Structure 1
Amino acid sequence: MIGGGGAGIGRSIVRSCAAAGATVAVADVDAVRATEAADELRAAGHVSHALSGDVRSGEQLEDVIVGAAERLGGRIGVAVPLTDRPKRPWPPRNC
């Protein structure tokens, strides 16, 4: 799960993870960017999922993590929060 994966360095990390064989959940505050990044990966034959949310926000962070876990079969192997500093500990204790 890459937070901030819709553009810039995050998008590059998303591409690298997919190229290495990872199933990627792309999270971004901009839903369009998250969807475009996930669509790009799927078009290249990779498995990816788009999620929208601000991972700096406590409530949205939990929603993004829960959504990613659901799409990734119940488990997040690696979480990369490429944002300004999260407003709460990463990851939340219940994940």
Structure 2
Amino acid sequence: MSNLKGAILATALFAAVVFPFLLMMSIDAFQQHAFLKMTEEVTELVKEEGGVSEHVTQITKRLKKKDLTVTFSKLGLVKFGEEIVIGYKYEY
């Protein structure tokens, strides 16, 4: 009988503590991976376009609908060698 109680207690402990912790960690890792991938893609797009073009603006508007705000230090196209600082704010 005590083996059954121990098995029930171990299962309850796993279901109450371990499983939610693992689920939370995997969800956080997925969100971080998606955020980092998106930041790399926006950076590459700005490099390819030569600044904040109309296409980049459309992409940032679509991302804003997904609770991600992207800000740029300089709007419009820039000369080669100029630096654009990109800011990201993600609310989930």
Which of the five TM-score ranges fits, normalised by the shorter chain? 0.3 to 0.5
Which structure ranks higher in relative contact order (CA pairs < 8 Å, sequence separation ≥ 6)?
Answer: 1
Could you say which structure has the larger radius of gyration?
Answer: 2
Q: TM-score, normalised by structure 1?
A: 0.33
Higher share in helix: 2
Q: TM-score, normalised by structure 2?
A: 0.33
